Amino acid sequence: MAPRSATSWGRPLSVGDPVPLLGVAVGGAPVEAGSRNLRCRHGSKPGWMAMSGPGPQTDLGSIAFSPDGEHWIEFGPPDDRRRIAFHDYASLYAVPGLYERVFCTELAMGTAERVVGFYAEALRRLGRHPGDERVVDLGAGNGLGGEQLRRIGVNRIVGIDLEPEARNAAHRDHPGVYDDYLVGDLTTMSGSEIDRLTGLRPTAVLALSALGPGHAPPAVIDRACGLMPEAGLFAFAVMPTLLPGSDDPLGQRTGYPEFLAELFTHRADELARHDYVHRQRTDGTDDLAVALVGQLR
Ligand SMILES: C[S@@+](CC[C@H](N)C(=O)[O-])C[C@H]1O[C@@H](n2cnc3c(N)ncnc32)[C@H](O)[C@@H]1O
């Protein structure tokens, strides 16, 4: 297996980086229009006109990926191809259907469905009813996780994301899924915004494909968990190199190994742990993840 890419969970890369012109699909084959049709765990349509909510249709054409690592994606009709950086979420969310087409349809990203499923299983084992849960979806993006939470029966959900474009996309792509959606960083949010969150009286915090290098650092998930009282649940996934005991230098620099060791030693019980495939990388290898479900003491 190829070495894990340091960028596979989301370090933004510059659009201005020099890049070759030929794109490749997952697995390295040259891309032809309509050639990709992977199963989408989230139910998005794999068609070339991708759109999951109301609004103008966008011709996404075929999706091509940079051949030398996860640097950019290219999309659009043959006479109007556009290229954007692989983890430039603001640009991805701004184009209707593009985020789900790239990560869900082309790369079979399954984290929202898998981790929400692990959370649902924990609720079942604890005898807690999903309809009584009030969930903070940290790093909510365009609403894939919120959609899954509704599917299992949660009816109070607040999203948070750094990107204003994420909130716009959530309202456009998954209208009505979030009761509230805050834009910003939890560690620097104003008192009134924190009051909006605590007013929900959260019973659970989920972070789906949103933690790790290039995404939220430990202080953010720590702050989110701090919004809950005793017995609050959390569910998230991390790259295996972020687990306690990891000697991976990048993993250690994130602070996650130390944070998770402290969390599960002193403040929370681990209810479940699952190894699974987060998604395919553009070179066709599996991007592995570990989902953790815990409960505050
Ligand atoms: C890969 S996307 C995942 C979105 C969504 N949860 C999903 O499963 O499709 C990661 C999201 O985390 C957001 N994010 C990164 N750092 C964050 C932070 N410190 N606080 C809130 N959101 C953050 C990004 O803006 C991005 O929308």
pLDDT digits (tens, 9 = 90+) for 105-126: 999 999 999 999 999 999 999 9
Choosing among 3.30.930.10, 3.30.2350.10, 3.40.50.1100, 3.40.50.150, the CATH entry for 111-296 is 3.40.50.150
Ligand 1 in contact with 166 (CB < 6 A)? yes
Ligand 1 in contact with 224 (CB < 6 A)? no
DSSP strands (E only) in the chain: 49-50, 58-59, 64-65, 72-75, 82-85, 134-138, 156-161, 180-183, 204-207, 233-238, 268-280, 286-296
Mean pLDDT of 85-101: 97
- Surface-to-core class of residue 54, CB atoms within 10 Å of its CB (0-12 exposed, 13-18 middle, 19+ buried): exposed
Rounded to an integer, what distance in angstroms lies between the CA atom of residue 286 and that of residue 239? 12
Using pLDDT thresholds of 50, 70 and 90, give the confidence band for residue 45. very low
What does the angle CA 197 – CA 201 – CA 204 come to, to the nearest 5 degrees? 90
From ligand 1's centre to the CA of 213, what distance in Å?
11
Ligand 1 in contact with 44 (CB < 6 A)? no
Substitution candidate for ligand 1 out of 157, 158, 215, 278 with most atoms within 8 A of CB: 215
Ligand 1 in contact with 218 (CB < 6 A)? no
Nearest atom in ligand 1 to the alpha carbon of residue 9 is: 1
Mean pLDDT of 92-112: 97
From ligand 1's centre to the CA of 116, what distance in Å?
16
Q: What's residue 21's pLDDT?
A: 30
Note if the pTM is more than 0.75: yes
pLDDT digits (tens, 9 = 90+) for 117-171: 999 999 999 999 999 999 999 999 999 999 999 999 999 999 999 999 999 999 9
Q: What's residue 53's pLDDT?
A: 45
Tell me the domain boundaries of the chain.
111-296
Helices of type H across 24-178: 89-94, 98-99, 111-126, 144-151, 164-173
Mean pLDDT of 197-221: 97
Q: What's residue 57's pLDDT?
A: 65
Whether the predicted pLDDT of 258 surpasses 70:
yes
In terms of DSSP bridges, do strands 64-65 and 72-75 run parallel, antiparallel, or are they unpaired? antiparallel
Q: Give the residue with greater pLDDT, 211 vs 30.
A: 211
Per-residue burial over 109-126, b if 16 or more Cβ lie within 10 Å, else e, is bbbbbbbbbbbbbbbeee
Is residue 10 within 8 Å of 212, Cβ to Cβ? Answer: yes
Q: Which of 15-24, 54-63, 198-207: highest mean pLDDT?
A: 198-207
- What are phi and psi for residue 220, nearest 5 degrees? -75, -45
Using pLDDT thresholds of 50, 70 and 90, give the confidence band for residue 227. very high
Mean pLDDT of 93-97: 97
Mean pLDDT of 33-49: 34
Whether the predicted pLDDT of 8 surpasses 70:
no
Mean pLDDT of 15-39: 32
**Whose structure tokens read 């043959």?**
78
Q: What's residue 58's pLDDT?
A: 77
The rounded radius of gyration (Å) of the Cα atoms in the chain is 19
Rounded to an integer, what distance in angstroms lies between the CA atom of residue 155 and that of residue 89? 27
Average pLDDT, the chain: 85
Mean pLDDT of 98-110: 97
